[in-house]
Structure formats: structure tokens, C-alpha cells
Amino acid sequence: MADINIAKAPPNYVVLPFYGTGALFFLVLAVMMLFTPGEWGGHYFTPHLLAMTHTAALGWGSMIIFGSAYQLLPVICESDLFSSKMALASYGCLTVGAGLLIASFWLFTPGWMMITGGALVVTAAGIYGVNAYLTMGSCKRYSVQKLFILASAGWLLVTTLAGLLLAINLYEPFIFRSHLDMLKLHAHAGLAGWFRQLITGVSSKLVPIFLLGKSGKIRLLYGSFVCQNAGLVLFLADGLVFGFTPRIFFYEGLIVLGVVAWLIWLFDCYRNRVRKAIDLPMRHVFFSCLCLLIALLLPPALYYSHDHVWALVYGLFLFQGWITFLILGMTFKTLPFIVWNYRYKHLSGKIKVPMPKHLYHEKWLRYQLGIHTASLLLLVAGVALRQEALIRTGIWIALATAALYVGNVVTVMFYKIKTPADATVHR
């Protein structure tokens, strides 16, 4: 294999803290929800909802995505991760920054704590972006996946910088436009720029691997890249200069076109797959895509209705639906392999070793999929119908989802090697 590079994954101590901390934030998010069922019917700009949104976006979504990106960048870029130390530095900045931001939103104390938290998150985004860029820089081959990953890192920096400016503005107002309008731009840069483009890029590399599928329609992905970015840039520029006008539907249409192109590409991979059985983690991906499609249908209601309920339903489908379903599933497509590589790689071929899928409780994963679906449906119904009892039930079920997820993550991370007593020595 002289001239073929098998990219090496970064050491486990670089990646595992992201998974552990992300799982903890997911549990914290569910506990925070327990204290706020009465706040789910009003305006979204409340201390507790802001704290929960940032827990979901930074502590949960971005934390796990950072970890898996550091693990998968070598696979996607076909070269080793540029710097493990930078990855650890981004972990420290993101963890402390998210913690400070969440606490300052929950207590609603604009000032040094919120601004320091925001600055640390910007630093984490900067370090991540530089590390991703330099990892890709060492790779000669050009691919659409790299475009998406670089663009998403850029959007993360834009989003976090905008967030920092908003945090400063809360303490010392200096932005000439409405704070709430700026908040919408900040949120959409994060959702459509950071999360969606990273997910598009990574999934277009990993889904064919997981399904043993392929699609020759690579132009769909390039089209998706152009549409998603053009739509988002126009949305942000127009929103910044002229505010929110019906023109946003044209920009949203472009973004939706981009998302649909990506989904068609995924479906083509699914149709042309070798592996017929769809495992539980991949079923989570199906639900995630469904939630994204539903969320993309909601902006007209957000624009024309003055009822804040729609904003909450939109947020639920995006955070609890699209992002959370994806992470709940993909954690078990990555974490067990990371741990397995560390614990069993050196024993592979020598003795019979468990497979990565044996490192977690499959039954728990099945329950997780069912109860998270139930929780999301109850929360959406509760918010839409203003039924606090439904919201409360949904929150308790969300807590059960978090407990199952954390339990399974802990099971994988602390899986004890069982050799030689439990392993059959072949020869």
C-alpha cells in the first residue's frame, strides 16, 4: 500500500470529550425543559428559551458535530487531522463558552459573563475552521464535500461573531437595527449555514459508505451547494438592509431547492444500495430528514402569522427533530467505532472480538427512536394547541430519551474489554 494513504483517526482523547460533554448537555437540556413548561406558548425571546436554544445549538449540536467532524475530517479529506491540540483547544473554548452563555441567558445577566462566553465560542469556531482548512489543505483531491465543510465552517464563524455582537448589544446597545431582526439572521446563518451545510457535506460522504450505495448524480450536490449558499447570502443581505419582506420566500425557495437536490441525491444512493437492511441509526436519519422537510414548509406561517407559536414549532422541528434525530442515530454510527478502534483493533484477526454494534444496547436505541418521536409529537401538539399537559408529558418523555441516550453513550465509552475469558482464541 506504498502510495495509498489510509488516513489515521485522531487519538481518542481528542474526540471522546466532545461526545461525553455533548451527551451531558443533552441531559441538561431535558432538565431545563422540566422547569419551563409554562413558557412554551409565548414569545421565544425569553431568558429560559434563549438558554435552552443555546444549550441545543452549542452544548448539544455543535459539541457532538465538532467531535464527529474531527473524527471524520481525515476520512473526508483523505489526510490526517492537522492538529489534535487545536481540536482540544476548541473543546475547551466551546465547553466553557457554551456554559457561560447558557448560564447568563438563564439568569439573564447581560454583561461580562455573556460576552466572555460569546467570545470563547467565536474562538472555538475560529480554531475549528483553521484546523478544518489546514486538514483539507494537505489533500490534493477536490470534492464537493470539502466545499460544504469549508463553507459550513465559515458560516459558523459568521454566526458566532453575530452572536457575540448581539451579546454586546444586549449590554451596551449599539446596533441600529431591531435586536430581534438581527437574532433571526443570526439563527438562520447558524441553521442554514453551519448545521445544514455541514450535514449535507458529511452525509454525502458517509451515507454511501453506510449503505454501500452510490449515486452518479454528483451535479445535484453542486447544485445544492450553489442554491443553499446563494439563498442564504441573499436572505441575510436583504434582511440586513431592508428587513423582512416577502422577498424572503424567493430566497427560501432557493434554499429549499438546494435541500431537495441533496435529498434526491441521498434517495438515489438509497435506491442504488447494496445493503438492503436499514439499521436503527440510519432509521433515525430518515426521521431527521422528515423533520427538516416539515420545518422548511413553515416559514410562510412564521411570516404571515403574528402568533409566536409557529416560531416554537419551527424551532422544535429543527432542534428536537432534525438535529437531534440525526445525532441520536449517528452517535451510534461513529462512537462505537471510535472506541472499538482503540480497544479491539490490535486484537482483530487474533481472537474473536465483539463488533462495534455490540458495544451498545440495541434495544435501548430502538426505544430511543420510539420515545423521541413520541416526545416530539407531544411537544409540537402541546405548543400548537397550547395544552400544557401535553407539553409536560412531552418533556418527561424527552428526559427519558436523554437518559437512554446518555446511558448508551456511557455504555460504549466505558465498555470493558472482555478477553481472553470471553473471547474465543482461534489459533
CA distance 150 to 130: 10
95: phi then psi, degrees, rounded to nearest 5:
-65, -50
Instruction: Check residue 208 for interaction with another protein (CB under 8 A).
Output: yes
CA distance 53 to 59: 10
Cα torsion angle, 29, 312, 366, 69, sign? negative
* CB neighbour burial string for 129-138, b if at least 16 within 10 angstroms, e if fewer: bbbbeebbee
Q: Under a CB-based contact definition with an 8 Å cutoff, are residues 79 and 138 in contact?
A: yes
Instruction: Check residue 78 for interaction with another protein (CB under 8 A).
Output: yes
Minimum CB distance to another protein, residue 372 (Å): 24
Minimum CB distance to another protein, residue 145 (Å): 12
Figure out which of the listed residues 142, 172, 176, 277 binds another protein, where binding follows CB under 8 A. 277
Nearer to another protein, 319 or 332 (CB): 332
Instruction: Check residue 346 for interaction with another protein (CB under 8 A).
Output: yes
Nearer to another protein, 241 or 277 (CB): 277
- Strand-pairing partners, residue 79, are none
* CB neighbour burial string for 290-308, b if at least 16 within 10 angstroms, e if fewer: ebbbbbbebbeebeeeeee
Angle between helix axes 63-77 and 196-211 (nearest 10 degrees) is 60
Minimum CB distance to another protein, residue 60 (Å): 23
Figure out which of the listed residues 179, 345, 363, 418 binds another protein, where binding follows CB under 8 A. 345
Minimum CB distance to another protein, residue 22 (Å): 20
Q: Kindly identify the residues of this chain, within the stretch 348-367, that bind another protein according to CB under 8 A.
A: 348-350, 352, 355-357
Nearer to another protein, 95 or 215 (CB): 215
Instruction: Check residue 276 for interaction with another protein (CB under 8 A).
Output: yes
Minimum CB distance to another protein, residue 1 (Å): 4
Q: Is the peptide bond before 420 cis (omega within 30 degrees of 0)?
A: yes
Figure out which of the listed residues 217, 275, 386, 418 binds another protein, where binding follows CB under 8 A. 275
CA distance 390 to 396: 10
The Cα-based distances of 417 to 182, 299, 407 in angstroms read 51, 50, 18
Nearer to another protein, 101 or 144 (CB): 144
Nearer to another protein, 337 or 364 (CB): 337
Instruction: Check residue 75 for interaction with another protein (CB under 8 A).
Output: yes
Where on the chain is the footprint of another protein (CB under 8 A)?
1, 4-9, 72, 75, 78, 208-210, 212, 274-277, 337, 340-341, 344-350, 352, 355-357, 426-427
